[in-house]
Amino acid sequence: MPNELMTTPANPDLHPAVYHSERDAMRRNTDLVIRSVALHQPDRYLRNVWRGALRRVRRRTDANILGICSTGHGASLALVSSRFGVRALSLERFLGKKNALYLAREEYREIRESLDPIPSGIRFCLRDRFGRLPPIAVFEDSWEPLFKALVHGLPLRPRDIDFVMGSESHFAINRSWQGRALSHYFPNAVVRTDLEHHAVHRYQAFLASGFGDAAVFTADASGEPLRRKGGKRIAMTFSSARDKEISVFAEHTSPESSPGRLYNNFNMFLGFEQGEEGKTMGLSSYGRDTCYRYLRPQLELFDDGSFFFPDDAALKTTLREHGIFPRLPGMPILPDHEDVAQAAQLLLDDIMHNALRALESEAPSERLCLAGGIALNSVTNERIFRASRFREIYIMPNAGDLGQALGCALFAERMLLNCPARAIGESDGLGPRYAEADVLAAIENAGLQYSRLADPVNRAAALIAEGRIVGWFQGGSEYGPRSLGHRSILADCRKPEMKDHLNDRVKHREPFRPYAPAVLEERVSEYFDLHQPSPFMLRVVDVLPHQRAVIPSVTHVDGTARVQTVSAAGNPLFHQLIAAFDALTGVPVVLNTSFNVAGRPIVETPADAIECFLSTNIDALILHNYLLEKSPV
């Protein structure tokens, strides 16, 4: 499992050892010489050379690798360690502020004051439609608290990090700003920030998959401007991967071939913000194809997988000609808006299907890996996969930009250190783990009564079967945007009224948005048109017609569901809970939604979970083996 302690010998920096041999004494003296010389090197490249030499002198084979990501979609850190496995944590979870991002202090000042050399396009992308900046943390002031939260419970300090990996596309750590400072923050680390944005997406997609070979497809709005592309930004790449080799055979650029840009234009037209594309996806199921039929002739698809669709201004003009006008946030959603959402979804499906055909023609593998923001569109994922010749699919659970921290760290481990491939597996619970003392302290600080449970699994299953809404807090938090049984709100999917009940009492979100089912992996084909694992809720499939009345609160208006399969190996405790619910009810499916309320990120700490529990009408909260319960109304 990713978070289990490894048995690799300890790092001598972490656990000082007594050196008895002459060779060890010589190494120690050489270390001092290298360190003293390195202190006088002003350039990061020379520091990297010296730190690499120090590593070779010590004959180190273990490593602690830190990946850093900071884009307009948010920021995160990821640790890949030969001793401590994999950990990952986003800034928004740490701060409790959705879409929070990192900027260097000077970078933030430039953007806030709209000064050059920050391009106006970056300022525009960061601001929402009302000109507000998202929550921002100054990197120089807050990198260390986030790092400490990431390694909570582990004997790791900044000086114990051997490699720091980032991308030139990332705010705060590019060469113009914080890249050089990273060498000071992590004094023993080799620092690299020269990875391209879509290269990192490829590492996310393939290196985490566990596949020996795969076709790799990355798609989003765009990466950074690249000199080798004449300043253009890449939006899609097609690659063939085997072992350590990833061969790119097509790159398509923004804005002319940007699926993310196209979908965002529709998303904004419908009154949703960046990061709310899932709302457009959910709304699309209510629409008719009338809008799609008069927009489809404007979409040009090419054999190389690229496409052309008119820009945002032309799109608005066409829609106005048909009597459809942009919706402002808070305005009612009309049938025309539902039709526009379906047009967006169907156009994206066409674009991605055409692109996948181009990938199929060049990549021999029968396995497919997806990453980039578009890979979070679970409707498109399933439609294009079913129409392809591929037999297996892997979609990284944090497939968008926030997952790039892990992509950077996996690159260093596999490509630089030549370590064996590390499959992330079926669990996304990569966040910090909290001890019983942490849980008890949070409960006592809140002044709440609690019960200690001998069997939290069966108690949770019984509460859910009684119609209660249960907060479930176990293990490390999910790194990606979906709650998968570590930070979840669980309910009975058999009750038709449960969807509205959750919306009214807890989530306070739009009524058109569906809730997802979590099902025992070995029983999935009894309820859904699915015969493969879907552990990360990134595939939308049909609910079998005769089961739709059995699990109505997780069946969308079009008869589909965004399914999470739960295996005994991938998430044993959650699997036991669903099995216990099945034993009580005869249904191996529960409703699983993210442990948060509208506008807030998923809870991270025990204190976060208690705050959410107290501020909503969640009936019971199970934190590890402790039960907090409200009296039934």
CATH of the domain at 331: 3.30.420.40
* pLDDT, tens digit, 9 for 90 and up, residues 56-105: 666 666 899 999 998 888 899 999 999 999 999 999 999 999 888 888 88
Q: Which two tokens stand for residue 544?
A: 């079998």
- State the pLDDT at residue 128: 52
Taking a C-beta distance cutoff of 8 angstroms, is the pair 211, 394 a contact? yes
Answer yes or no: do 362 and 297 share one domain: yes
Answer yes or no: do 453 and 594 share one domain: yes
Percent of the chain with pLDDT over 90: 72
Answer yes or no: do 144 and 189 share one domain: yes
47, amino acid identity = R
Answer yes or no: do 516 and 606 share one domain: yes
pLDDT greater than 90 at residue 598: no
Answer yes or no: do 366 and 411 share one domain: no
Answer yes or no: do 523 and 588 share one domain: yes
Least confident of 116-130, 440-454, 489-503, 605-619: 116-130
Percent of the chain with pLDDT over 70: 85
- State the pLDDT at residue 330: 87
- Residue among 578, 471, 482, 573 at smallest CA distance from 523: 578
In-domain check, residue 238: no
DSSP structure class, residue 196: -
Taking a C-beta distance cutoff of 8 angstroms, is the pair 567, 554 a contact? no
| 3 state DSSP class of 594 | strand
In-domain check, residue 206: no
* pLDDT, tens digit, 9 for 90 and up, residues 263-291: 999 999 999 988 899 999 999 999 999 99
Answer yes or no: do 373 and 451 share one domain: no
358, amino acid identity = A
- Residue among 176, 154, 137 at smallest CA distance from 66: 154
Banded model confidence at residue 13, pLDDT cuts 50, 70, 90: very low
Domain tally, the chain: 3
Answer yes or no: do 593 and 458 share one domain: yes
Segment 336-347 mean pLDDT: 98
In-domain check, residue 431: no
In-domain check, residue 356: yes
Domain boundary among 395, 424, 452: 395
In-domain check, residue 152: yes
* pLDDT, tens digit, 9 for 90 and up, residues 176-227: 445 567 888 998 898 888 899 999 999 999 999 999 999 999 999 999 889 8
Segment 329-351 mean pLDDT: 96
Residue indicated by tokens 């180190």: 60
Q: Give me the chain's average pLDDT, please.
A: 88
Answer yes or no: do 344 and 469 share one domain: no
Query: What's the chain's length in residues?
Result: 633
pLDDT greater than 90 at residue 123: no
Distances in whole angstroms, Cα of residue 375 to Cα of each of 216, 259, 397, 398, 560: 12, 11, 9, 9, 18
| 3 state DSSP class of 198 | helix
User: Can you count the helices (H) and strands (E) in the chain?
Assistant: 20, 24
Stated pTM of the model: 0.89
- Residue among 348, 383, 343, 346 at smallest CA distance from 259: 348
CATH number at residue 54: 3.30.420
Answer yes or no: do 320 and 180 share one domain: no
* pLDDT, tens digit, 9 for 90 and up, residues 455-490: 999 999 999 999 999 999 999 999 999 999 999 999
Taking a C-beta distance cutoff of 8 angstroms, is the pair 216, 200 a contact? no
pLDDT greater than 90 at residue 332: yes
Residue 532 dihedral angles phi and psi, to the nearest 5°: -135, 165
In-domain check, residue 105: yes
pLDDT greater than 50 at residue 235: yes
- State the pLDDT at residue 333: 96
- State the pLDDT at residue 184: 84
Banded model confidence at residue 46, pLDDT cuts 50, 70, 90: low
pLDDT greater than 60 at residue 125: no
Answer yes or no: do 279 and 152 share one domain: no
pLDDT greater than 60 at residue 155: yes
Banded model confidence at residue 505, pLDDT cuts 50, 70, 90: confident
Answer yes or no: do 490 and 609 share one domain: yes
Distances in whole angstroms, Cα of residue 128 to Cα of each of 121, 124, 136, 276: 13, 8, 14, 12
What residues have CB less than 8 Å from 233, skipping those under 6 apart?
222, 223, 224, 225, 226, 253, 254, 258
In-domain check, residue 200: no
In-domain check, residue 179: yes
Question: 143 is in which domain, residue-wise?
Answer: 47-194+404-416
pLDDT greater than 90 at residue 423: no
Segment 335-343 mean pLDDT: 98
255 compared with 10, residue with greater pLDDT: 255
CATH number at residue 518: 3.90.870.20
